[in-house]
């Protein structure tokens, strides 16, 4: 694509769509399986896909800095995903999804502005509109009073997923696909250790494998397109757009689980479209 900023926006939006589908599939699978088991199978699927793409498309081998940053992205991303899946499986989707997404986007935005300078005024307003969209799209219409114990998992998920976004941006400066391979291999190693130490964490039943593998495929797409977005454009733009993944989760819940879209969620659609136009301005 001729314009790298437009390319970064498209990559970011595709990342959001893929991540949202992955979270929906992962949260659904975790209801009948352990979090560690779901993540392990998903990470193995991811390693296979990314390794195949890296070999097919080529690219230089990662240097020590990219390997270290990729490994840290794997550790922090794994902790964040575990907290997110556990929160989604608890049935508090209306609280978990928006808090995790807003927290996830906040850290890279702050870091990106510190590293790359302030964004334009239109983009900053677009970021604010995107935060509003994330909340409106994913919060329940008749939300219950939020208690401290209910926000621990989504805030934890958001912090570690936000750190993972920062590390991925740093790892992808030299090579995108091979850095992500390092990230996923790190996740597989950690999860295998967890499964060996805590034997109550078992692999998912065979009937759940299609959904679990689907979660791994979509999660791989989310990470890959986000890495390309951050590599092509600004970190804060990539992070904000990719963090609008609750929109996909909500739409899939509407289409597959027949959940009714609340009035404020339709307002979130308008806010999301407005945010995209402002960020692209």
Domain-by-domain residue ranges, the chain?
4-280
Q: Which of helix, strand or coil describes residue 243?
A: coil
How far is Cα 142 from Cα 128, in angstroms, rounded to an integer? Answer: 23
Q: With bands split at pLDDT 50, 70 and 90, how would you rate the model's confidence at 168?
A: very high
- Tens of pLDDT along 62-103? 889 999 999 999 999 888 877 877 776 766 666 677 788 788
Nearest to residue 101, comparing CAs of 51, 162, 152?
162
Res. 1: pLDDT tops 60 = no
CB 103 within 8 A of CB 158: yes
172-199 confidence digits (pLDDT tens): 888 888 899 999 999 889 888 877 877 6
Position 259 scores a pLDDT of: 65
Strand, coil or helix: what is 139? Answer: coil
Confidence of residue 147 (pLDDT cuts 50, 70, 90): low
Q: Output b/e per residue, 105-138; b: 16+ Cβ within 10 A.
A: bbbbbebbbeeeeebeeebbbbbebbbbbbbbbb
């Amino acid at each position: 694509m001729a314009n790298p900023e437009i390319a970064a926006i498209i990559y970011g939006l595709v990342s959001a769509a893929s991540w949202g589908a992955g979270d929906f599939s992962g949260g659904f699978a975790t209801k009948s399986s352990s979090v560690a088991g779901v993540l392990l199978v998903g990470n193995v699927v991811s390693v296979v896909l990314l390794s195949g793409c890296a070999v097919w498309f080529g690219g230089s081998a990662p240097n020590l800095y990219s390997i270290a940053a990729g490994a840290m992205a794997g550790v922090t991303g794994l902790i964040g995903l575990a907290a997110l899946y556990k929160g989604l499986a608890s049935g508090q989707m209306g609280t978990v999804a928006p808090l995790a997404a807003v927290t996830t986007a906040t850290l890279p935005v702050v870091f990106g502005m510190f590293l790359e300078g302030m964004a334009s005024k239109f983009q900053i307003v677009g970021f604010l509109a995107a935060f509003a969209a994330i909340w409106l799209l994913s919060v329940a219409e008749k939300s219950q009073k939020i208690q401290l114990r209910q926000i621990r998992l989504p805030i934890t998920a958001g912090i570690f997923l936000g750190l993972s976004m920062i590390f991925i941006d740093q790892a992808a400066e030299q090579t995108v696909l091979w850095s992500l391979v390092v990230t996923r291999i790190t996740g597989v190693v950690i999860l295998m250790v967890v499964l060996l130490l805590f034997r109550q964490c078992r692999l998912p039943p065979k009937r759940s494998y299609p959904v679990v593998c689907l979660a791994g495929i979509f999660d791989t797409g989310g990470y890959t397109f986000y890495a390309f977005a951050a590599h092509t454009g600004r970190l804060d733009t990539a992070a904000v757009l990719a963090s609008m993944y609750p929109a996909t989760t909500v739409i899939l819940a509407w289409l597959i689980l027949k959940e009714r879209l609340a009035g404020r969620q339709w307002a979130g659609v308008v806010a999301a479209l407005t945010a995209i136009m402002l960020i692209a301005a």
